[in-house]
Amino acid sequence: MKRILKNRLFWPVLALVALIVINTIARPSFISITVQGGQLYGPLIDILRNSAPLMLVALGMTIVIATRGIDLSVGAVMAVSGAVALTIIEGSSDPNGLGTVLVAIVVGVLVALVLGVWNGFLVAVVGIQPIIATLVLMLAGRGIALLITGGFITTINSEPYKFMAQGYVLGLPFALYVSMAAVVVVALLERRTALGVLTEAVGINPEASRLAGVRSRGIIWGAYAASGLLAGLAGILYSSNIMAADANAAGLYIELDAILAVVLGGTSLMGGKFSLAGTVVGVFTIQTLKSTITFLGVPPAVSPLFLAIVVVIVVLVQSPRLRSVLARASQALRPRNSSPQGGSEVAS
Amino acid sequence: MTAAPAQPAIVEMRGITIQFPGVKALDGVDFVLRSGEVHTLMGENGAGKSTLIKALTGVYPIDGGTITVAGEQRVFRGTADAQAAGISTVYQEVNLCTNLSVGENVMLGHEVRRAGLIDWKATHREAARHLTNLGLDIDTRSALSTHSIAIQQLVAISRAMVGEARVLVLDEPTSSLDRSEVEQLFAVMRDVRDRGVAILFVTHFLDQVYEISDRLTVLRNGMLVGEYPAAELPRGELISLMIGRELDELDALSRSAAREIDRDAAPVLEASDLGRKGVLEPADVSVYDGEVVGFAGLLGSGRTELARLLYGADRADSGSTQVRGTPARITTPRHAIDQRIAFSSEDRRAEGIIGDLSVAENIVLGIQAKRGWLRKVGRAEQAALVDEYIAALGVRPADPNRLIKNLSGGNQQKVLLARWLATAPQLIILDEPTRGIDVGAKADIQRKVAELAAQGMSVVFISSELEEVLRLAHRVVVMRDRRKIGELTSHDIEVGDLVDFIADGALESPENVA
């Protein structure tokens, strides 16, 4: 029991489970999954599907945060990659051709990669503070996207492109495969090579890492490049979902959700140790929360407040400081109350 | 030696215990401070001096024991509590506001007020009065930053006197002062003492200990060795009390260091005119195979700066370096590592350990960085490597998965040494590898250094403890005021000679190659 409690993932998972339980109590249909024509449907499936863009962005954000950085430009990069891909498809003679769509996706993602490399250049080479460096693109990116689409919301009809976000494979949404593949690739890259531990070293103590010979510039640069690339892919999924490139709405505020997911997953904003599994749990938690809002019928006007309150509770539950304070308080109370009051577990 | 035992104890610390993760920093230490005495706290680095001071000044909460000030038992929850009890501290790095004026600093929090507003004229007058009391003639309206560290410390003492301190703690105030500044400080200290203030003094300079102290308390390994009147404790005895068993063990070492070094072949590393504006005047240094070269000098003498330039941790703006006779450009740590040169910084915490990583990860980091991220040190290889070095260097606890930040300083240092040794360097630069670590670990590291050199590795060894440098080094580069002032072959040098050399910048010996 103690080992489970000590596991870094215990509290994030507990928060997620608690959310699902609350939803289910409120409306039991929350966990119902139905099969229609060999495809799975249900609120939980929707959460898995809709979380894909956030998952991609949050993975990149995790690596960037591990280096003591932050990437505010992810939402804008999503807008750019969607704009690029849709403009290519719109301009092509064969919008339904698989080749066209593949080219559009690859080019869209590559442009996002270039933007990530630009961020990395500003941070790792020029030495600008990450929050400022990525703020540049956060503001400029949507302008670039608008420039690409000529100021309009580009809409297309392309079955293969639509498949990205809305298709099904083996009963599950294709978008889920994309996000899970990204999780696996990033995890392999970070943990099966030495990239993860070197990234953590740079994040924990940049100067000591430099003196130990770690090529921290390359590692930091790579983190921003990866974040850009993943945000680009997220932009493809997003635009595929609505089949439109909306430069102003695509990925709006997703950087905040991503940062939140990373933190909920137990990775510190101070950099250093990071947990990809924690981020995955964090993303599902946020997506579940968003579903909760619609599912419970929280009025749109108060939904940000609702979100904020739940997040505060979740973060508090995870705070080791608060837990130790509560533990001490319950200990201090014990001698006075001759009858001990059971476990002092505090859950949301 | 004016303090009579009859003087009342102003501070009584009994059975003080402070526990840090992995190490007991203080173990049941008693310490008594009497009014009107200068009481010097002695002990090697890591003996627990600064921990005891931090317990007295409320920086660290104590895990056991009692602190009684003027007959009243106190619990310090912070430095403010200690200050309220009349305990004032002057740190090595002055804790004043350098951008304020001298007068403002002296009177901070005690400004003369009239109708609720500060009367600056009266405040400065009052500040001047306090300064004059201590024999200081300083313009109270000048900015503190325009004065030397020595003056800033005296201002800090004045400030403590304004606050009616009963106890004055001076933690290594003399480490960066020159001789006349020390004289001035001592004059002020005597004056303050004669007014009945108890002074707790810490220094590393033995001469100063005997010049100013009435009484000594010796700590070793976090435990009390004893309290002695300064007049009754001969120097040699004091040193052996401080270092204990170490002395005998290391005598054997010094003989092994007397080995002859072959200086006919090209040096492993040779730097000529290596310097950087405002940091270090151009200097020549060479290190030969199997040689231990010591850098001696006071803090800020340029010894660390020279080491950093050699390693490329800082970029030199003059000079050139050669590795085994071939010109080599070393402007970043990577360049040095590619030449199989390693460097362990004096600031273990900020520039050495990766605190939140495990011992194993810290050891492997050097090799891993060298190989690049794609070729990960495999699990089996890592385990073998880590076990080997933990055993070879005696890292305690011998748990590769423990976070390094939870190890004691000495064991962190061993892990850092392991990190570099694993990369098989031909030259290793160790900047203060024994600072702030316990005696056992210190002897281990010294032994390891001698052993490595005997096996043919070249070592640059930097330490503020001249004995240690002389014991290990074949040659000593002497630094002063950011300048290399000479080079000595260390067989027949005594610590006293070296001290004189550093102090006067000259030696009447023909070995002076400067």
Q: Look at B343 and A211 and tell me if their CB atoms are within 8 Å.
A: yes
Say if residue B266 is in the same domain as residue B312: yes
What is the reported pLDDT for B49?
85
Task: Please tell me the distance in Å from A302's CA to the nearest CA on chain B.
Answer: 40
Contact call for residues B359 and B404 (beta carbons, < 8 A): yes
Say if residue B218 is in the same domain as residue B275: no
Q: How confident is the model at residue B92 (pLDDT cuts 50, 70, 90)?
A: low
Tell me the pLDDT tens digit for each residue of A191-208.
Answer: 999 999 999 999 999 999
Q: Look at A212 and B356 and tell me if their CB atoms are within 8 Å.
A: no
Say if residue B224 is in the same domain as residue B259: no
Peptide bond into B397 cis (omega under 30): yes
Task: Please tell me the distance in Å from B402's CA to the nearest CA on chain A.
Answer: 15
Number of other CB atoms surrounding residue B423 within 10 Å? 20
In chain B, whose CA is at the least distance from the CA of A192?
Answer: B376
Query: Does any CB of chain B come closer than 8 Å to the CB of residue A290?
Result: no
Distance, in Å, from the CA atom of B286 to the CA atom of B429, rounded to the nearest integer, reads 12
Q: Look at A209 and B372 and tell me if their CB atoms are within 8 Å.
A: no
Phi, psi of A253 (to 5 degrees): 65, 10
Q: Look at A212 and B419 and tell me if their CB atoms are within 8 Å.
A: yes
Please give the residue that has the higher pLDDT: either A36 or B436.
A36
- Show residues of chain A in contact with B351, CB under 8 Å: 205, 207-208, 211
Per-residue pLDDT, averaged over A245-270, amounts to: 90
Task: Please tell me the distance in Å from B373's CA to the nearest CA on chain A.
Answer: 5
- Average pLDDT over chain A reads 89
Say if residue B126 is in the same domain as residue B104: yes
| CA proximity to A283, closest of A37, A53, A25, A7 | A53
Say if residue B128 is in the same domain as residue B223: yes
- Show residues of chain B in contact with A207, CB under 8 Å: 350-351
In chain B, whose CA is at the least distance from the CA of A215?
Answer: B369
Q: Look at A208 and B353 and tell me if their CB atoms are within 8 Å.
A: yes
Q: Which of B223, B244, B265 is the last residue of a domain?
A: B244
Q: Is residue B91 domain-resident?
A: yes
Q: Look at B352 and A204 and tell me if their CB atoms are within 8 Å.
A: no
Task: Please tell me the distance in Å from B311's CA to the nearest CA on chain A.
Answer: 9
B385 has pLDDT over 80 = yes
Lowest-pLDDT choice from A238-242, A297-301, B383-387 = A297-301
Tell me the pLDDT tens digit for each residue of B24-74.
Answer: 789 999 999 999 999 999 876 667 888 899 899 888 889 999 999 988 898
What is the reported pLDDT for B198?
93
- Show residues of chain B in contact with A200, CB under 8 Å: 354, 356-357
Please give the residue that has the higher pLDDT: either A306 or A339.
A306
Q: Look at A201 and B337 and tell me if their CB atoms are within 8 Å.
A: no
- Show residues of chain A in contact with B375, CB under 8 Å: 194
| CA proximity to A259, closest of A8, A33, A62, A49 | A62
What is the reported pLDDT for B510?
41
Distance, in Å, from the CA atom of B123 to the CA atom of B129, rounded to the nearest integer, reads 10
Say if residue B430 is in the same domain as residue B287: yes
Contact call for residues A223 and A133 (beta carbons, < 8 A): no
Q: How many CB pairs under 8 A join A and B?
A: 76
Task: Please tell me the distance in Å from A58's CA to the nearest CA on chain B.
Answer: 22
What is the reported pLDDT for B261?
81
Q: Which of B244, B272, B296 is the last residue of a domain?
A: B244
Instruction: List Cβ<8 Å contacts ≥24 apart for B371-374.
Output: B371/A194, B372/A194, B372/A215, B373/A193, B373/A194, B373/A195, B373/A198, B373/A219, B374/A193, B374/A194
- Show residues of chain A in contact with B374, CB under 8 Å: 193-194
Q: How confident is the model at residue A103 (pLDDT cuts 50, 70, 90)?
A: very high
Per-residue pLDDT, averaged over B232-252, amounts to: 66
Contact call for residues B286 and B272 (beta carbons, < 8 A): no
Q: Is residue B414 domain-resident?
A: no
Say if residue B316 is in the same domain as residue B208: no
Lowest-pLDDT choice from A65-79, A285-299, B498-512 = B498-512
Q: Is residue B370 domain-resident?
A: no
> Which residues of B fall below an 8 Å CB-CB distance to A?
311, 313, 333-334, 337, 343, 345, 350-357, 361, 365-366, 368-377, 419
Say if residue B30 is in the same domain as residue B177: yes
Q: Which two tokens stand for residue A326?
A: 């509560």
Task: Please tell me the distance in Å from A145's CA to the nearest CA on chain B.
Answer: 35
Is residue A134 packed enough to be buried (19+ CB in 10 Å), middle (13-18) or exposed (0-12)?
A: buried
Distance, in Å, from the CA atom of A276 to the CA atom of A258, rounded to the nearest integer, reads 12
Task: Please tell me the distance in Å from A218's CA to the nearest CA on chain B.
Answer: 10
Q: How confident is the model at residue B215 (pLDDT cuts 50, 70, 90)?
A: very high
Q: Is residue B362 domain-resident?
A: no
- Show residues of chain A in contact with B370, CB under 8 Å: 213
Tell me the pLDDT tens digit for each residue of B120-167.
Answer: 999 999 899 888 888 888 888 988 888 877 788 888 888 888 888 889
**Out of A195, A201, A273, closest to residue B365 by CB:** A201
- Show residues of chain B in contact with A209, CB under 8 Å: 354, 365, 369
Q: Is residue B369 domain-resident?
A: no
Mutate to test the interface with B, among A68, A197, A215, A268 (most CBs of B within 10 A): A197
- Show residues of chain A in contact with B354, CB under 8 Å: 200-201, 204-205, 208-209, 212
Q: How confident is the model at residue B506 (pLDDT cuts 50, 70, 90)?
A: low
What is the reported pLDDT for B238?
78
**Out of B354, B370, B375, closest to residue A209 by CB:** B354
Residue numbers of A between 187 and 206 with CB closer than 8 Å to B: 192-195, 197-198, 200-201, 204-205
Residue numbers of A between 213 and 272 with CB closer than 8 Å to B: 213-215, 219, 272
- Show residues of chain A in contact with B361, CB under 8 Å: 197, 201
Say if residue B177 is in the same domain as residue B274: no
Q: Which of B224, B244, B264 is the last residue of a domain?
A: B244
Per-residue pLDDT, averaged over B68-96, amounts to: 83
What is the reported pLDDT for A346?
37
Q: Look at B350 and A204 and tell me if their CB atoms are within 8 Å.
A: no
Q: Find the CATH number of the domain harbouring B60.
A: 3.40.50.300
A1 has pLDDT over 80 = no
- Show residues of chain A in contact with B311, CB under 8 Å: 211
Say if residue B52 is in the same domain as residue B110: yes
What is the reported pLDDT for A254?
94
Say if residue B263 is in the same domain as residue B221: no
Q: Is residue B512 domain-resident?
A: no
The domain segmentation of chain A, as residue ranges, is 51-293
What is the reported pLDDT for B90?
81
Domain range holding B14?
9-244
Gyration radius from chain B CA atoms: 25
A5 has pLDDT over 70 = no
Say if residue B228 is in the same domain as residue B276: no
- Show residues of chain A in contact with B355, CB under 8 Å: 204-205
What is the reported pLDDT for B6?
56
Contact call for residues B388 and B359 (beta carbons, < 8 A): no
* Angle subtended at Cα A272 by Cα A268 and Cα A277, rounded to the nearest 5 degrees: 65
B233 has pLDDT over 60 = yes
A75 has pLDDT over 70 = yes
ipTM: 0.84
Q: Is residue B513 domain-resident?
A: no
Q: Is residue B315 domain-resident?
A: yes
Q: What is the pTM of this model?
A: 0.75
Per-residue pLDDT, averaged over A125-145, amounts to: 95
Q: How many domains does chain B have?
A: 2
Q: Which two tokens stand for residue A98?
A: 């698989």
Task: Please tell me the distance in Å from B404's CA to the nearest CA on chain A.
Answer: 12
